[in-house]
Structure 1
Amino acid sequence: MLLKSNGDVIASDVEYAKSMFSQAKGLMFRSSVPDSYAMIFILPSPKKISLHMLFVPFPLDVLFLGADKRIVKTTYLRSWVGLGDSGEKIKYIIELPAGAVSRSDLSVGDHVMFDGS
């Protein structure tokens, strides 16, 4: 479960990408994800990250989080051609279906909660 700090549900169908392979693959080659979905990338240590949407045929909203699980940046990535970067060192990346950031009223500075460290 992915929650806002006030307990509101952002996503109930959560998948974790912890291994190097699962992080490299991400959501490539999937045809879609449900509206209640989130993929959470847990990096071994904080670092700057760049993302691409090659082989991802649907758009995404992305949250970049610091080690304290606070949002440091949000971005929208277009299907197939989207590119994005964290801009600073981060510990977590959360990929959500496009529109999830506005639906959940998320913004920089917000704290999110999830299992897995």
Structure 2
Amino acid sequence: MVLIYSGKPIANEISYAKNIFSQMLGLMLHKSIPEDFALIFVLKRSGTVGVHMLFMLFPIDVIFLDADKKIIGTATLKPWTGHKRMKGVKYIIEMNQGTVERFNLVPGEQMTFKQTTF
């Protein structure tokens, strides 16, 4: 699976948080993640969501997507103190801090999750 933005891959290693348990855990207690890693939360329905940083050991960038996988907001959150709420969210992507800036991820732009085949 590849995460694509503006026709370019920004993550080649992807995990999904599809159930309540995996969504509750997220990246908590991980010491780090690979540079090209993304954790994608797939919510049952679009709505207002909050992301917290309790038990997180490193800062992350969070990308909020609507049901059409368009970016509706981004945030850089710090361990233990960060928190962000957003309306109209269907997908949440957590990546290493600096990803949003490095790839110039901006609201209104499209993201794609593409299955890779070998």
Q: CA deviation at 1:79?
A: 1.4
Does residue 77 (structure 1) correspond to residue 77 (structure 2)? The answer is yes
TM-score by length of 2: 0.92
Equivalent pair of 1:53/1:79 in contact (CA under 8 Å):
yes
Alignment deviations for residues 63-114 of structure 1 (CA, whole Å, 9 cap, x no partner): 110000000001110112111111x121000001000011111100110000
Residue pair 1:58, 1:80 contacting (<8 A) in 2 also: no
**Residues 1:103 and 2:87 aligned together:** no
- SS of the aligned residue for 1:48 comes to strand
Instruction: Supply the AA of the counterpart residue of 2:78.
Output: R
Residue 67 (structure 1) aligns with: 67
Q: What is the SS of the residue equivalent to 1:35?
A: coil
Consecutive unaligned residues of structure 1, counting only runs of 5 or more, are none
Structure 1 runs of 4+ aligned residues shifted over 6 Å read none
**Could you report, residue by residue, the CA deviation over 1:35-65 in whole angstroms, capped at 9, with x for unpaired residues?**
1010000000011001110111100100110
Find the aligned partners of 2:114 and 2:65 in 1 and give their Cα distance.
14
Q: Output the aligned Cα RMSD.
A: 1.1
Q: CA deviation at 1:14?
A: 0.6
Unaligned runs of 5+ in 2: none
Aligned residues: 114
SS at match of 1:27: coil
Higher strand share: 2
Matches within 5 A, 1:1-117: 1-4=2-5, 6-86=6-86, 88-115=87-114
- Which amino acid is 1:104 matched to? F
- What one-letter code is carried by the residue in structure 2 that aligns with 1:49? V
Residues 4, 114 of structure 2: 8 Å contact kept:
no
Q: Distance in 2 between the 1:115 and 1:93 partners?
A: 16
Amino acid at match of 1:110: E
The amino acid across from 1:46 in the alignment is S
